[in-house]
Amino acid sequence: MSGFVAGKVAIVTGAGNGIGKGIALAMAASGASVVVNDISEEAGQKVVDEIVQKGGKAVVSTDSVAGRESAERIVEAAMDHFGRIDIVVNNAGNLRDRLFHKMSEEEWAQVIDVHLNGSFNVSRAAASRFREQESGAFIHMTSTSGLIGNFGQANYSAAKMGIVGLSKSIALDMARFNVRSNCIAPFAWTAMTSSIPANTPEEKARVEKLKKMEAGKVAPMVVYLGSDAAAEVTGQIFSVRANEIMLFSQPRPVRSVHLSEGWTPEAIAEIAMPAMKTSLYALERSPEVICWDPI
């Protein structure tokens, strides 16, 4: 990947560990100057030191993505140290897993604030810069927990689906300024996913599969999407799973029924639903749909 994003400046949030760390290192190895954002200064500085030791350019930022003013400071760090901003990778995340009927307002808000509000805050802070220079790339992390479904993650799933809508809106609104916006649903074993239960034999088997999916495998796709080679790619949803790259579908009508005199609840029950029944989606979870072993 050497030189693929040479001369560009990238912000990577949640870059102290896991997927974010892999992305920051890959961006630097490919020629970008990197703002390594993480609320842990120790973790963020270690990534910066590793980049610098390898001859790259990086600076640490410990501001939270969850606040508008602190998100502005993340972008200002890029401007102050490197004079511009070309790529924003919204990777910062947290988990507060709980079955929906037991989830507290605090558990809901904590996840929405970091994932969804955080992606908006950092993107909005960078948008003015992108508009002025008429270029830029946003890469947001979504999840199959939202795209498909999962147990005990209503907060996380809602935030990740919200990010999909946010990304598409950014892509539409900022296309006139040559600004792109895409999503990636990453599969990887990280500190965040290590909280996944592994009590039953089935859960243990699932966790062992997850451990095979290295966090660093996500980075090449992120570097590509931030590069000029991806100039025509925007408004898309990708997934990276070990050595697989998937392009996800987006909601479109799959069946339509028409009744010239208009619908009543009785007619819907007698005509519409039977006609649509074979096209209804099963109530499935991510591991039931993406059910093959990592490649």
Could you give the residue numbers annotated as active site? 156
Residue 169 has, within 13 A of its CA and on its CB side, a CA count of 11
Q: For 56-213, list the strands marked E by DSSP.
A: 57-61, 87-90, 136-141, 179-187
CA angle 164/190/156 to nearest 5° reads 35
**Tokens 């093959």 belong to residue:** 292
Q: What are phi and psi of 290, to 5 degrees?
A: -95, 75
Q: Residue 280 has which token pair?
A: 């209804």
What is the C-alpha separation between 12 and 160, in angstroms, rounded? 17
**What is the rounded distance in angstroms from the CA atom of residue 255 to the CA atom of residue 257?**
7
Reading the block at residue 169, the tokens are 């809106």
**93 token code pair:** 């995340």
Give the position of tokens 């410990």. Answer: 62
